[in-house]
């Protein structure tokens, strides 16, 4: 009888594994290198395309003639931290939920994985119901708080208000697309972003130039594009091809499911939202150290360009993380720790090589990156002056991302949360405030490589100390998202 039960259990597990083998991808058996290529390349392409949502707006807006172009570009730079905070709520649900769902899939708990997915949609609706009225009621005050000036707020406020009206599709597209990727449908996940980005690229020049709508047109194009992406995601997750389905019967919120989702999602949420907080601090500090409002707008515009270049770096790293996460999470849940280790090593190597290439390109040819965003000679000269300092140690970000995202993928919520706070909140912001007192605007950008060095040193030490729980056999019965 015992033998029969074991055989039945074995057949059920095999049936589950075949059921969760989308498009020929087997997260538990295929070669790690091949899996990484199949999952990471579309995810990287998706993230590069996703960067176009904000970058394309800046490219088109930056080409507007005279003061309108400079003020509009600075306005988008001011809006960016607030936009990132809104987007971070989608990342919280998407990364936290999809990582936990992948672990449950590896454990053979398909229904639980579907309940996690279905619970995440009402959570996104709740976040929208809170964010929209707050942002619409206090938009002007928030923009001044993040560094807007009297010159830029009249351009920034209409862009921000229109963007806020599209909060729900923005969060749905960001939050639920991760569940497509975590099943192994990396190409479909890429198409989610591609459809929206192409729509944005097509709509931007029509609304900005043909209809002469300026920043209003850029915001409308972005919201319309995200809405198209959100509809695509919902159609796929309720269709026939997906392995995890959105089910109305599972949508009643359950804290036992959402608690671990939020715990795991807090790390990427803090990474994104603290990026916004850093942007806010930098904008305010640059305003304080500048001799006049015109110089402040120039420095903020230069930072808007550099943050766009940084985004161009981080998006492929995020895509690489999305390619590695399903492999690591699934095999961690299935207790195949040799595959977890192989996936991590390949993740680390790829991230370091990529950031090394980007570092060389920025150090040698900074003008190429800067000219993408502005044809204004004064603004470009200011950006060239700062960008080599700002990205001096960008190669260290490859190590930081690989270690931190592996903590997330294996359910180590507490340590990943600490690391998310470490680099930006504990280190970078105090260093910006301190260094700006000694080296004014240059001190703002010197703080970045110093914080990178300290953060990576601590991250590597913690990863070494935690290696047995990441690559070894964890105590069974411990819920991912709560263990460390």
pLDDT tens-digit readout, 97-125: 988 898 888 888 889 999 999 999 999 99
Rg (CA), the chain: 22
DSSP at 480: T
Phi, psi (deg, nearest 5) at residue 405: -70, -25
At what angle are helices 66-106 and 150-165 packed, to 10 degrees?
40
Q: Is 346 exposed, middle or buried (0-12, 13-18, 19+ CB in 10 A)?
A: buried
pLDDT of residue 318: 81
Shortest CA distance to 89 belongs to which of 160, 171, 161?
Answer: 171
Q: Convert the pLDDT of each residue in 138-197 to its tens digit.
A: 999 999 887 787 878 888 898 899 999 999 999 999 899 989 988 878 888 888 888 988
Q: Which residues of the chain have pLDDT under 70?
A: 1-25, 50-55, 57-58, 62-70, 375, 473-484
By 3-state DSSP, what share of the chain in percent is helix, strand and coil, each rounded to 5?
85, 0, 15
Shortest CA distance to 300 belongs to which of 141, 78, 79?
Answer: 78
Enumerate the domain spans of the chain: 26-471
Contacts 24+ apart (CB under 8 A), 7-11: none
Q: Where are the beta strands (DSSP E) in 205-359?
A: none
The SS3 call for residue 64 is coil
Is residue 430 a contact partner of residue 278, using CB atoms and an 8 Å limit? no
Query: Taking the CB of residue 255, how many other CB atoms lie within 10 A of it?
Result: 10
Residue 339 to residues 29, 113, 180: CA-CA distances in angstroms? 9, 21, 22
Q: Convert the pLDDT of each residue in 273-286 to its tens digit.
A: 777 778 778 888 98
How far apart are alpha carbons 260 and 246 in whole angstroms? Answer: 19
Q: Is 207 exposed, middle or buried (0-12, 13-18, 19+ CB in 10 A)?
A: buried
pLDDT of residue 62: 66
Query: Taking the CB of residue 261, how many other CB atoms lie within 10 A of it?
Result: 26
The SS3 call for residue 369 is helix
pLDDT of residue 77: 75
pLDDT of residue 53: 61
Shortest CA distance to 272 belongs to which of 311, 300, 328, 329?
Answer: 311
Helix (H) or strand (E) holding 223, with range, is helix 214-237
Chain center to CA of 356 = 20
How far apart are alpha carbons 62 and 74 in whole angstroms? Answer: 9
Q: Convert the pLDDT of each residue in 225-237 to its tens digit.
A: 999 999 999 999 9
Q: Which residues contact 39 (CB under 8 A, 6 or more apart)?
A: 25, 181, 184, 186, 322, 323, 324, 326, 327
Q: Convert the pLDDT of each residue in 7-23 to its tens digit.
A: 333 333 434 443 444 44
Is residue 177 a contact partner of residue 233, using CB atoms and an 8 Å limit? yes
Is residue 147 a contact partner of residue 82, using CB atoms and an 8 Å limit? no
Can you give the pTM of this predicted structure? Answer: 0.70
């Amino acid at each position: 009888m015992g033998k029969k039960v074991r055989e039945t259990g074995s057949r059920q597990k095999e049936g589950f594994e075949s059921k969760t083998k989308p498009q020929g991808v087997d997260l538990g058996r295929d070669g790690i290198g091949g899996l990484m290529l199949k999952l990471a390349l579309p995810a990287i392409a998706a993230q590069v395309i996703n960067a176009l949502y904000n970058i394309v707006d800046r490219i088109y807006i930056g080409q507007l003639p005279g003061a309108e172009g400079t003020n509009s570009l600075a306005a988008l730079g001011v809006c960016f931290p607030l936009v990132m905070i809104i987007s971070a709520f989608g990342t919280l649900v998407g990364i936290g939920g999809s990582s936990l769902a992948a672990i449950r899939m590896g454990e053979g708990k398909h229904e639980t994985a579907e309940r996690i997915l279905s619970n995440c949609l009402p959570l996104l609706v709740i976040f929208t119901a809170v964010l929209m009225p707050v942002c619409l009621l206090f938009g002007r005050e928030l923009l001044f708080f993040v560094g807007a000036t009297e010159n830029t707020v009249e351009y920034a406020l209409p862009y921000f208000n229109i963007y806020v009206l599209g909060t729900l599709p923005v969060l749905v597209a960001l939050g639920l697309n991760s569940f497509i990727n975590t099943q192994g449908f990396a190409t479909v996940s890429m198409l989610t972003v591609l459809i929206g980005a192409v729509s944005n690229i097509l709509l931007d020049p029509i609304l900005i130039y043909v209809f002469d709508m300026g920043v209003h047109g850029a915001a409308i194009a972005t919201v319309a594009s995200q809405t198209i992406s959100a509809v695509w995601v919902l159609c796929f997750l309720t269709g026939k091809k997906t392995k995890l389905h959105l089910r109305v019967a599972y949508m009643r919120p359950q804290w036992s499911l959402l608690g671990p989702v939020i715990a795991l999602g807090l790390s990427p949420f803090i990474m994104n939202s603290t990026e916004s907080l850093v942007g806010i601090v930098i904008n305010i500090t640059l305003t304080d150290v500048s001799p006049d409002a015109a110089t402040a707008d120039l420095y903020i515009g230069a930072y808007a360009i550099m943050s766009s270049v940084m985004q161009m770096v981080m998006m492929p790293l995020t895509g690489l993380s999305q390619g590695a996460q399903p492999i690591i999470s699934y095999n961690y849940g299935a207790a195949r720790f040799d595959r977890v280790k192989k996936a991590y090593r390949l993740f680390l190597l790829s991230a370091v090589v990529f950031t090394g290439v980007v570092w060389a390109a920025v150090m040698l040819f900074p003008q190429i990156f800067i000219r993408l965003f502005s044809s204004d000679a004064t603004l470009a000269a200011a950006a060239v002056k700062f960008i080599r300092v700002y990205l001096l140690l960008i190669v260290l970000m490859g190590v930081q991302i690989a270690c931190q995202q592996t903590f997330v993928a294996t359910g180590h919520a507490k340590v990943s949360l600490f690391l998310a706070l470490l680099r930006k909140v504990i280190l970078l912001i105090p260093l910006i405030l301190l260094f700006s007192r000694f080296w004014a605007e240059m001190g703002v950008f010197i703080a970045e490589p110093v914080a990178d060095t300290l953060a990576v040193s601590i991250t590597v030490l913690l990863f070494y100390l935690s290696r047995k729980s990441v690559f070894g056999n964890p105590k069974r019965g411990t819920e991912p998202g709560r263990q460390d």
